[in-house]
Amino acid sequence: MAVRILLTGVSGQVGDALLPRLQPMGKVVAPLRSELDLSDAEAVRRFVREVAPRWIVNPGAYTAVDKAENEPDLAYAINRDAVRVMGEEAAAIGAAVISFSTDYVFPGDGVQPWVETDATGPLGVYGASKLAGEQALAASGAAHIVFRTSWVYGATGNNFLKTILRFAREKEEMKIVADQHGAPTWSEDLAQLTIHTMKRMEEAASGRALPDAVREVGGVYHACDAGETTWFGFASEFVRLAQLKEPEQRFARLLPIPSSEYSTPAKRPLNSRLSCEKLRLKLGFTMPNWEASVAQVMQRLG
Ligand SMILES: NC(=O)c1ccc[n+]([C@@H]2O[C@H](COP(=O)([O-])OP(=O)(O)OC[C@H]3O[C@@H](n4cnc5c(N)ncnc54)[C@H](OP(=O)(O)O)[C@@H]3O)[C@@H](O)[C@H]2O)c1
């Protein structure tokens, strides 16, 4: 019988990248929001029971960082409660869970890359709700892995890269924040990491239960593309590549500004650097350099 995989968030950046990569691995059940509302914990429970998956892969999340400040109940329902229920049900049936979290669990002080054991301290509701999800999953008793990532973008969906490119074609000048440091992470790189991890766990599980293999390496991993930059550096790089592709097109001049000049309802961490050393050592995966990934996305954008 084919392995059943429950994938949430299939209309999102990471879910969209995961779907075609998961399909060769088993029977993928990937409900849209209209088929499974993640803010309804009991519906999540029923759905998991019905599907009885071997794997739950959960990129589904409430990701509206600023809106979350005014919708904490909804953010917690999706980012904590749904994850808790997935964990409880996975623990009950011997499934394994891969979920995703964020650099926004950290307060953003200092300049060193955060390691997994560093104290957290989210600055806003979104980060706090994602941290609560990590903790709820750990407490559920499920065999699980959480990938904390940063600044996710892709060739599909709405994201920073596509928004800036659109405006850069229309405007003379654009001000971009230049004092938040981190790594843009391509959704395809996260999908590759996820598949690598699942295959590695399946190999490690041969002859024994999957949760036992996952528990040996389970927990939180930092997983962002390699290298670091700022939002200004990220935007400058892909506008540069766009200009190379379209020499005739006029793109906006980018101006670096401090976060203090760009006020948002939710405060962002200034230091979002994540050390991915644990990922390399324990899961044997090195994330690609962010510039190499941006170059690939720019090619795909046609
Ligand atoms: N985006 C980033 O910059 C970033 C940074 C760090 C970490 N992360 C984490 O990485 C993971 C993947 O992020 P992403 O960029 O792929 O997110 P995304 O593009 O915003 O996608 C979120 C997905 O969750 C679904 N969803 C939201 N509310 C739902 C609900 N009530 N019921 C059912 N589905 C619902 C969305 O469905 P709809 O299409 O119907 O809304 C969408 O498919 C998340 O855990 C996120 O927290 C993201």
- pLDDT tens for 221-260 read 999 999 999 999 999 999 999 999 999 999 999 999 999 9
Report the pLDDT value the prediction gives residue 2, as an integer from 0 to 100: 81
Domain-located, residue 62:
yes
The boundaries of the domain holding residue 212 are 3-158+183-227+267-288
- Ligand 1 pocket residue status of 274, Cβ below 6 Å: no
Task: Give 245 Cα–ligand 1 centroid separation in angstroms.
Answer: 30
- Ligand 1 pocket residue status of 154, Cβ below 6 Å: no
- Ligand 1 pocket residue status of 130, Cβ below 6 Å: yes
Q: Which of 126, 153, 221, 262 is catalytic?
A: 126
Domain-located, residue 281:
yes
- The total domain count for the chain is 1
Task: Give 8 Cα–ligand 1 centroid separation in angstroms.
Answer: 9
- Ligand 1 pocket residue status of 185, Cβ below 6 Å: no
| 27 CB-near residues (< 8 Å, 6+ apart) | 2, 3, 4, 5
Domain-located, residue 99:
yes
Report the pLDDT value the prediction gives residue 156, as an integer from 0 to 100: 81
Q: What SS3 state is found at 222?
A: strand
pLDDT band at 187 (very low <50, low <70, confident <90, very high): very high
- Ligand 1 pocket residue status of 75, Cβ below 6 Å: no
CATH number of the domain at 28, please.
3.40.50.720
Domain-located, residue 242:
no
Nearest CA to ligand 1 atom 12: 59
Q: Tell me the average pLDDT of the chain.
A: 96
Domain-located, residue 237:
no
Helices (H), the chain: 13-22, 41-51, 72-76, 82-93, 125-140, 160-170, 187-204, 210-217, 231-245, 277-283, 290-300
Residue type, 156: T
Domain-located, residue 246:
no
Instruction: Give yes or no for residue 302 having a pLDDT over 80.
Output: no
182 in Cβ contact with 272 (< 8 Å): yes
Task: Give 299 Cα–ligand 1 centroid separation in angstroms.
Answer: 24
**Burial letters 263-282, b for 16+ CB under 10 A, else e:** eeebbbbbbbbbebebbeee
Exposed (0-12), middle (13-18) or buried (19+): which is 214, by Cβ within 10 Å?
Answer: buried
pLDDT band at 1 (very low <50, low <70, confident <90, very high): low
Domain-located, residue 209:
yes
Domain-located, residue 83:
yes
